[in-house]
Structure 1
Amino acid sequence: MSATSQLSFQSIFDQYQPMVAQMCLGFVSGDQDVASDLTQEVFINTWNAMEKFEGRSSYKTWIYRITINTCLQYHRKKKRDTHVSIGSLESDVADSNNTTDEERSSELYRAINQLGKVDRLIIMMVLDELEYEEIAEVMGISESNLRVKIHRIKKRLKKLMHYE
């Protein structure tokens, strides 16, 4: 890999590492160790794909796509390796009364973890305040379809968090 590519990779890493780490953290329901491993895996995948980047999208969109693929790959592998009951996760959602911001955040991550893998990734991009147009591009769906999905995801989260 050329010095220019290395410099470019360092710049990409510096700019997007916090975003990738936050998205991975949401995907694994706040498990810092697994999120750190996933973040590292995303940037290994990014490094390996640097020469294939064609510039058809922004680096941000490209990195999101790599992050989504890495998280989905992790999910598939984990699913093969272990079978966790989602029912047991539902009992973990705490009563929303008298909770601190940290508890609410933790409750939100637990609820997000109960979503399907694609919904989980979509809501993490929404929480990361990515524009709908960019999320739609990353997911490969129309913006109107995305809006419907987001509405349904939010409704499901409210139900999971006992706000509805």
Structure 2
Amino acid sequence: MPQQELFNNIYQTHYDKVHRLCKGYFNGHEGMAADATQEIFLKVWQHLDGFRGEAKLSTWLYRIAVNTCLLQLRKPATTKEIKTEQLPDVVAEEYNPVTDERLKKMYGCIQQLDETGKMIILMVLEGVEYSAIAEVVGSTEETLRVRIHRIKKQLSTCVQL
């Protein structure tokens, strides 16, 4: 398969998941998530010929995504963001303020996790297979399952506060 076709396939298959993963890292901030997603797929395009196939393509992609998001978070802000009233990215036909507050609270709780915990729970929420997550974080599936249980317990406690 030509590289252009392979990239298009990767982009179409994984864009939404990568974008949601980025939104999780950036506390739901759409602009930052979109910028990071664009940078991730640029890196995928630039390094696609270097993919050795030692891991699944999705594992390689998620590793790039996580590393890119973490680098973006560590960068000093070069421009000041003007705070305005935040509006939801998509206006639902029926706005539910209770659901919106729960989502904001959950994003806030996820932000309090350590980097690995944040990476794990965001990938779990995206439905990434445990085997792929374990490979990305460098642990066994059994260890991962224990960590996921602890993270969920921690998030549950945080959300209820």
Same fold (TM > 0.5): yes
What is the CA–CA distance in structure 2 between the aligned matches of 1:154 and 1:136, rounded to whole Å? 17
Structure 1 unaligned spans of 5+: 82-97
AA aligned opposite 1:10? N
- SS at structure 2 position matched to 1:100: helix
Deviations 1:43-82 (A, max 9, x none): 111111101111122221111111111112122224x98x
Please report how far the alpha carbon of residue 110 of structure 1 lies from its aligned counterpart in structure 2 after TM superposition.
1.3
| Distance in 1 of aligned mates of 2:22 and 2:12 | 16
Q: How does 1:1-20 map to 2 (within 5 A)?
A: 4-20=2-18
Residue identity in the other structure for 1:8: L
TM-score (norm 1): 0.80
The equivalent of 2:149 in structure 1 is 151
Query: Partners in 2 of 1:12 and 1:134 — Cα distance?
Result: 16
TM-score, normalised to structure 2's length? 0.82
For residue 161 of structure 1, give the secondary structure of its aligned residue in structure 2: helix
Alignment of 1:4-153 (within 5 A): 4-78=2-76, 100-153=98-151
Shift of 1:162: 2.1
Cα distance in 2 between the residues matched to 1:133 and 1:12: 20
The CA RMSD measured in Å over matched residues stands at 2.1
Q: CA deviation at 1:6?
A: 1.4
Shift, 1:22, TM fit: 0.5
Shift in Å at residue 116 of structure 1?
Answer: 1.3
C-alpha displacement of 1:138: 1.4
How many residue pairs get aligned? The number is: 145
Identity, in percent, stands at 40
Deviating beyond 3 angstroms after TM superposition, the runs of 4 or more aligned structure 1 residues are: none
- Runs of 5+ unmatched residues, structure 2: 79-95
Read off the aligned partner of 1:130 and give its amino acid letter: V
SS of match in other structure, 2:75 = helix
